[in-house]
Amino acid sequence: MGTQRGAKARRFTRRAALFLAAVLAFSALSCQAPEADKAETPEPASSDSAESRDSTEAGTDPAPEKPDSAAVLFENDVLRAGLTDTEGGSIYHYAENGDPDYAEADYTSFYAAYGREIRITDVCEDADTGMAYVLLDGHPHYLGLDFLSRAMIFCTEPGGSHATEEDVYNAWKRYYVTRWNMMLPEIPLYEESALLLYSSQVEGPEKLSPSDFSLSKAVLQWQVPEKDSGILVAGSAGKLSGRFRYPAFAKDAASAPDVTVEELTNGLETVTVTAGGRPVWNDSVVLHHEEKENEDGSRTYTITLLDGLCFSDGSQVTAKDYLAFPLAFLSAPGKEADASYADQMGCVYSGFDLIDDMTFSVTIQASALPDANILSAVRFTAQYAEMWLGGAEILSDGEGCFLSDSFYERSGDGHYLSARRLRETAADPAVLQKYPFSGPYKVIHYDAVSAGASPVVILRKNDLFTGLPEGTERVSTLVLRHVDEGDVLTQFEKKTLDVYVGLSGENEVREALRYAEQSDGGLKTFRYETGETHVLHFRADLGPVQFREVRQALACLLSRSGLSEALPGGIDDAKLLLEDGGWIYDAKGEPYKSGIRFKRIDASLMGPDDKSYAAIDGSLQTFEKDGYYYMPLVLNFFGLQNSDLTARLAECFKNADFASSGMLVTVTEGSFSEVMDELYEAPLSGYYGGVPQMCVFSAFTRNYGSLLTDASFMWAVDPEEYRLFSQHFLLDPADIVWLKD
């Protein structure tokens, strides 16, 4: 609700492309997946979905007194036309062509109005629902997703019983999860798991954590004692590209095998990450660190390195090796080579300084503070300075450091010569072994194509690496290559593989399990979680899914069918939700008795796309009667073609409970590009036809754990931020402050 379609395509930003999602509090279960596929996500304290459904008015929060910003009929605030004047003014003023004029929006976000003033000590908790609210002029105002997601990051000042920033962060997170559960912007289905198939000669996989598995971590714990060579041959479904120095260079997403090699060869990081995903100083690299709050609100971190840190060739690591990469890619030549790093981090850093050979500093802009996870921005790895800078020097004038003039020399056509060097270092495998490595391994061979075979990279243990616990034994040599899932068992029969990582296809997993069982102990398996959860994704500003009760009712029906446990319940719960939400009319606008339900909506709230909303085949349409519009309870679902999940969902949607509840779900299948065009309602790949139709999608997974650190911006209600960053196109009414009565 509250967003308009037009010819303008939303900018497909890197943040939106990642499809990050909020942390949720549900257990997720596959309809037909094996027991091991169950996934658990954190449960919030004081969250009760049933209680949150007992609101006396659709879309309002249960509260001691109705909060000002929640005094609206519809939980997503509006249909596409915006709220009526009697409800506080319209969200968007419309130009004659129907496009919103974002500059004239008559509201602001609650965070923009009050975010810098509210602290965790100001927050009260609703005893019945667990929802967070604050008192403004003596009246309770409930806190929405946008505010809570930002507060987790930017409002972490300790206070009261919350003695540390970590305590404050965890409190905000709990409130955020509780709100997320009530709003239900998407439905988690089941967590993706993968199978590790390995030779019994490999020791160590059974000691790994299924919830914290990665090949780069595993290699540091595995051993192959029965193989005199100490060589481990690992296969992966991902493709190697040779971009091991900078896997994401000039790419929307780095390949998993490239990232594995980068993690194993690039190390000595100043900040590491705990098992819970929180950044902490790396005591094996940093001797001393200081923080200084500056008068302009910025913060300077000064870092002194330990003596004795070495690259794989024995050369000493110095402070310059930590500054070379950021200085290079934040510079004009770096932006010419690939602007993505500068786009992402240029708004975070305000300066660097080289203090001495072993000490450097980095200053964080005031606009990026406070941030509970700001240490992540001070995580730098040791990267051989000459590799990125060539003959250029890092100089300091006492107020900051900069690159010497030679780095900015241009060719005859006006391009920076160093931009070409940066591209070659980042993407050309030919220069890969020219410079030393700082991680626990070093690349000794890379073959992009060998006699028609797949690319292969060989890593050897870096004996000079000091960043591992004392006594750690690891594989001496790792051979990593691409292997198609369909060829895995053949490779094991030929004894050309010791380990295969990431087997996920249902048929391939089934065959691998059977093969291992029949191997007389020669092969073993280890199932691990990928961290990705399959979700049912909503375009929450189109059709019935604009209304929270519809999303909740759908979750109840999927729960009964066994495909999700997001909202335990069944058909009676679904019917009650829909009745309370106003879905009490039939196809003639009469009181509902049977068939598909309709909702009566005031004409002043209906935008053009609401008025034309219909089943994909046109069989059920929104219609007008006596000054009201009646919208059918039809959800147009778009899933990936040839997908097991799409097939499961389509089967579940045929369940008699859907028809009995008065809901119809139509099913359309297409390619990922077609799904993305429909979701963003823009011809990103040339498929979108210009008429919004689809409101439910299943092409995506979420890494809920990763968003324990930062979910800000994805629930933005500010018009421009909403246009750029919104992923579910959902506006939380508690996040809106009207600028006029």
The DSSP-derived string for 580-613 is HTT--B-TTSSBP-SSS-EEEEEGGG--HHHHT-
Question: What is the residue-averaged pLDDT of the chain?
Answer: 80
Integer angstrom CA distances of residue 203 from 214, 219, 220, 441, 476: 16, 11, 12, 19, 13
- The reported pTM is 0.69
Write out pLDDT tens, residues 440-474. 999 999 988 755 567 899 999 999 998 887 767 78
> d(Cα 709, Cα 716) in Å, to the nearest integer?
17
For residue 412, with 0-12 CB atoms within 10 Å meaning exposed, 13-18 middle and 19 or more buried, which class applies?
A: exposed
In the block, tokens 């369909």 appear at: 486
Residue 718: pLDDT band (50, 70, 90) is: confident
Radius of gyration (C-alpha) of the chain in whole angstroms: 28
DSSP annotation of 10 reads P
Judged against a pLDDT cut of 90, whether residue 166 lies above it is answered with: no
Strands (E), 166-285: 186-199, 231-236, 271-273, 279-281
The domains found in the chain, sorted by start residue, are 14-186+534-738 (no CATH), 271-431 (3.90.76.10)
> d(Cα 176, Cα 734) in Å, to the nearest integer?
13
In the block, tokens 């909202």 appear at: 567
Question: What share of the chain has pLDDT > 70, as a percent?
Answer: 81
Residue 84: pLDDT band (50, 70, 90) is: very low
List the 623-625 sheet strands across, edge first: 598-602, 628-632, 623-625
Residue 208: pLDDT band (50, 70, 90) is: confident
Bigger pLDDT: 355 or 100? 355
Quote the pLDDT of residue 239: 84
Integer angstrom CA distances of residue 486 from 237, 490, 501: 10, 8, 13
Judged against a pLDDT cut of 50, whether residue 121 lies above it is answered with: yes
Quote the pLDDT of residue 448: 82
609-637 mean pLDDT = 95
715-735 mean pLDDT = 86
Integer angstrom CA distances of residue 459 from 231, 316, 475, 478, 681: 10, 21, 10, 5, 45
Judged against a pLDDT cut of 70, whether residue 51 lies above it is answered with: no
Write out pLDDT tens, residues 500-518. 988 877 778 888 899 898 8
Quote the pLDDT of residue 21: 28
